[in-house]
Chain A
Amino acid sequence: MDTILDIKNLTIKFGSFTAVDNISFSVGKGEIFGFLGANGAGKTTVIRAICGLTNITSGAIFINGANISSRLSFIKPHIGYMSQKFTLYKDLTIKENILFSAALYSMDSRQGIKRMNELFEYTNFKENENEFVKNLSGGSKQVVSLCACLLHNPDIIFLDEPTAGISPASRVLFWNLIRKLSGDGKTVFATTHYMDEARYCFQIALMRAGKIIALDSPENLKRITACDNLDDVFIKIISETKGNYES
């Protein structure tokens, strides 16, 4: 499989604090890559670095073979980013938000509306487009956010905890969308706190204190640790690395 994202020895420091500590991995085209880890593990920092929003201390990040440090403006049209915080404007309607995002990618309103309708159909989104975003449910808000970052048809989409704080039913629907995107050739890079969501991923990276302590497919992880559900896998891996630290 072709590689779309390649991270080599990435280290990110804030002053003397090392938020990301020499990590390397690569993600293939069309994969769903799961990025897991406790609060403060460094997940968001990695995503922000890939999207060019944080300075890299050392190492390199490549998207489609291009180094983001030198070719960010070339890469930006190929990436979509949905941040951990809800970032749409609550005092604008769904349509206004979407058209604004479209304009940021230099689409005029006709193109924007066309893309919006396509994406709402794709995601099976049924709300009135003139509804104010503040009146939407958590799940609907996340779908609109997702559509906003898909407008320019990026190759790889970074979703930072897209399912945090929404209902279990909405979470399932959202992950169905992620799988649909992957089926259509999009690469999805998602962070989550929910272990049950990890089973949809092709690869899982488990982060702890800035380091990747496990990186494999869900099946392999289960086999290596001899556990039959992912919750147990993670408990086992984390307790083992803790042991390593102590020894």
Chain B
Amino acid sequence: MSLDLSRVKAMALKECKHIIRDKFTVIMGFCLPIALILFFGFVIELNYDNINILIKDDSNSGQSREFVEKLKAGGYFNPVYFFGSDILEPINKNQSAAAAIIDKDFGKNIKNLKPAKIQILLDGSDGQKAGLSISYISGILEQITKDLYGGKSAYEIRTRFLFNPQLNGKWFTISGLMVVIIGLLSILMTALTISKEWEKGSMELLLSTRIKPIEIVLGKIAPYIFLSFIGALLVFITARTIFGIPFNGNILLFWIMCFIYIVSCLSLGILISVIARQQQLSMMISMVIGLMPSMLLSGFIFPIENMPLFFRILTFILPQRWFMEICRGVFLRGAGFTDLFLPLFMLCLFCFLMIIAACKKFKTDIEI
């Protein structure tokens, strides 16, 4: 299959003209991401900061107190020591949304590098809050396990303790929010473009010429990369300035990965557009696909490690899941290329498969 780049270019230029002349697309590209991150950022900030968590410290050791300190330092939880006998009572009475019972051997086990136990009780009536809490606590636990079992120096624990942003709940959620918003935006951008051509009948004309499905697909994606990129940049700036999210990683690496994520989501949008053939249907599908899995299965709210096996496997096909890993890794931990090879590889694979699928579906459509 030979690819004629001049046709791809013509397609892309035409698409650019549509975009420039259609205020709606430009407004969507620039305003929607900022509006979303401000809205959700503040909602999350209002709702989920400073959740009271009861601590029943049966271990009463240096290690257990360190865990509580870290919990507190994040700003997401407000730990309160509990000395009564029935810890369920305040939860049942709605006085507290969460509790942690630290096993009496916690300190000893950590010292001996054995598994140590903490039991977390959450009020599940607010599912989202509970989910966010689990995800946050497991983040901290992962951190602690790494620090304590991973053989790192005490000095490093201190510095992380003071400066490591992963301990901040707000930062944790805002960086996750960035992933969802950039993804949703990119999916929406392209979801309408091909179905619009079907609806208006111009697709028939295109297909009667020599242009090939792959040329249409590539020509359609190209201009939106630029637009989505600006959207992502705006989200990034908002996250950094308004919400004060720190950035510890390599900025170039981050934007390269972001680029691949954007292309993955744009290709997903194209596939939706090819399948649906109608603008309204495309819009609905991309809203559902852009929001639901990226909220629920990407690790944004519910930690992937705690999911049933089926869902854990399902997350593998989500670009959001991989970019979530990249985003949190680069943003908060300063992860480098080698740490992020797997997610990066998965994004590229996803991208490739989406484009192939869109072209295949295109072909069979014509033959109906």
Q: Which residues of A contact B (CB under 8 A)?
A: 48, 51-55, 73, 76-77, 79, 81, 83-89, 91-92, 96, 99-101, 103-106, 108
Contact = CB atoms under 8 A, between A and B. Distances in A.
Contacts of B204: 48, 53, 81, 83, 85, 87
Most buried by A among B7, B204, B368: B204
B241 interface: no
A53 B18 contact: no
B59 to A, nearest CB: 68
B309 interface: no
B201 interface: yes
Contacts of A48: 204
Interface SS, A side: loop
A100 B14 contact: yes
19 contacts: A48-B204, A53-B207, A53-B366, A54-B367, A55-B367, A76-B209, A83-B204, A83-B208, A84-B201, A86-B201, A91-B22, A92-B17, A96-B17, A100-B10, A100-B14, A103-B7, A103-B9, A104-B209, A104-B210
B211 interface: yes
B206 interface: yes
B18 A91 contact: yes
B205 interface: yes
B89 interface: no
> 4 closest pairs, A vs B, by CB?
A85-B201, A103-B10, A104-B209, A81-B208
Contacts of B200: 85, 87
A76 to B, nearest CB: 5
Contacts, number: 72
Contacts of A52: 207-208, 366
Contacts of A100: 10, 13-14
Nearest to A50: B208
B14 A89 contact: yes
Contacts of B206: 104
Contact of A79 (B13, B22, B205, B208): B208
Contacts of A103: 6-7, 9-10
Contacts of B201: 83-87
A88 B206 CA distance: 10
A85 B210 CA distance: 20
Chain B interface: which size bin?
A: 20 to 34
B248 interface: no
A239 to B, nearest CB: 34
Interface in B157-189: none
Interface in B201-239: 201-202, 204-211
B24 to A, nearest CB: 12
Contacts of A101: 205, 209
Contacts of B210: 73, 76-77, 104-106
B7 A104 contact: yes
Contacts of A53: 204, 207-208, 366
B66 interface: no
Contacts of A87: 200-202, 204-205
A106 B17 CA distance: 20
Contacts of B202: 87-89
Nearest to A48: B204
Residue of A81, A85, A87 ringed by the most chain B CB atoms within 10 A: A87
A180 to B, nearest CB: 23
A231 B33 CA distance: 61
B152 interface: no
Given A51-B208, A77-B210, A79-B208, 20 more contacts: A52-B208, A55-B367, A73-B210, A81-B205, A81-B208, A83-B201, A85-B200, A87-B205, A88-B202, A91-B17, A91-B21, A96-B14, A96-B17, A100-B10, A101-B205, A103-B9, A103-B10, A105-B210, A106-B4, A106-B7
Contacts of B13: 100
A96 B18 CA distance: 11
Nearest to A80: B208
A76 B208 contact: yes
B18 A105 contact: no
Contacts of A104: 7, 10, 206, 209-211
A106 B9 CA distance: 11
Contacts of B21: 91
Nearest to A88: B202
